[in-house]
Amino acid sequence: MALKPSSPKPGGGGNQNRPGNTSNRPSNTPNRPGNTQSRPGGQQNSPGGGGNRPQGGRRPFPPRQQQAEHRINEFIRAQELRLVGDNLGEIAEATGQKVETGVFRTSQLLSWADEMGLDLIEISPNAEPPVAKIADYNKFLYQKKKREKELKANSVKQQLKEIRFGPETGDHDFEFKLRHAKNFLSEGNKVKAYVQFRGRAIVFKDRGELLLLRFLKELEDFGAPEQLPRMDGRRMMVIIAPKKSPKK
């Protein structure tokens, strides 16, 4: 009786899956731990992504200038700068050269700044060529902020103050509001005076106009109207601007 050939077992027959057979086993797996074949120099990538930076050495590129208001020193890109400042005499004395306001090579100015222990500061980057000065950068920023603070303190913030009347406002109430208006104008603020008409009081527009004209007459030494009284809905209003005080 002839023997029938044995059928392959499910999942593949033959010797391909037997233990010890390496015919289908991947060789030289690049991601196997310890294999450095595909890594440059045979170095493993350390956690944190050190890359190819030499350990213990300087960075291949200088760090970027972080949140500075001006370009200073080696961060200045222009090849030439216009030097200004009130310390040109000190620079000339320290460098032993005649230094005046003018255009210089950036490398020359960097050398002078380094010699004096100061910084080269680009103060007007959009000029042609850019304008720079040699000074201590921290001191320069302090003085700049101090000047800005003084200007802000001296500047007058103009506000619009409102004063409301009724068509039947009495003399006492009128004088009280007139004093407030004089104070507002003296402080440099504008005054918006208006007469509010409610209900049937709208028929007394002429009283409101006379009241505002009297108000303007009393304030003529403190301010001037931007325009004559006019109706705005159910209000008759006028805006008074303060008069500029004469310069001493």
Q: How far apart are CA 230 and CA 119, in angstroms?
A: 61
- The pLDDT-based confidence of 68 (bands split at 50, 70, 90) is low
Asked if 120 and 72 touch (Cβ cutoff 8 Å), the reply is yes
Sketch out the chain's domains with CATH numbers: 73-152 (3.10.20.80), 160-242 (3.30.110.10)
Residue with more model confidence, 68 or 185: 185
User: How much is the pLDDT for 206?
Assistant: 84
Place of tokens 């301010």: 223
Strand, helix or coil at 230?
A: strand
Asked if 25 and 19 touch (Cβ cutoff 8 Å), the reply is no
Q: How far apart are CA 164 and CA 195, in angstroms?
A: 6
Q: What is the largest CA-CA distance in the chain?
A: 139
Asked if 168 and 222 touch (Cβ cutoff 8 Å), the reply is no
Asked if 110 and 120 touch (Cβ cutoff 8 Å), the reply is yes
What mean pLDDT comes out for the span 189-205?
A: 85
Q: How confident is the model over 84-93, as pLDDT tens digits?
A: 988 898 998 8
Q: How confident is the model over 209-220, as pLDDT tens digits?
A: 899 999 999 999
Q: What tokens appear for 237 in the block?
A: 């209003």
Q: How confident is the model over 222-238, as pLDDT tens digits?
A: 999 988 888 888 889 99
Q: Is the pTM for the entire model greater than 0.85?
A: no
CA quadruple 201, 205, 207, 209: dihedral sign: positive
What mean pLDDT comes out for the span 164-186?
A: 91
Q: Of the given ranges (98-102, 164-168, 198-202), which has the lowest mean pLDDT?
A: 198-202
**Among 26-30, 49-53, 127-131, 241-245, the range of highest mean pLDDT:** 127-131
Residue 124 has pLDDT above 60, yes or no: yes
| Count of CB atoms situated within 10 Å of the CB of 108 | 14
What mean pLDDT comes out for the span 103-130?
A: 92
User: How much is the pLDDT for 38?
Assistant: 45
Phi, psi angles (nearest 5°) of residue 132: -140, 165
Nearest to 81 by CA among 102, 111, 98, 65: 102
Share of the chain above pLDDT 70, in %: 69
Output the CA–CA distances (angstroms, integers) from residue 156 to 161, 162, 187, in the order listed: 15, 18, 8
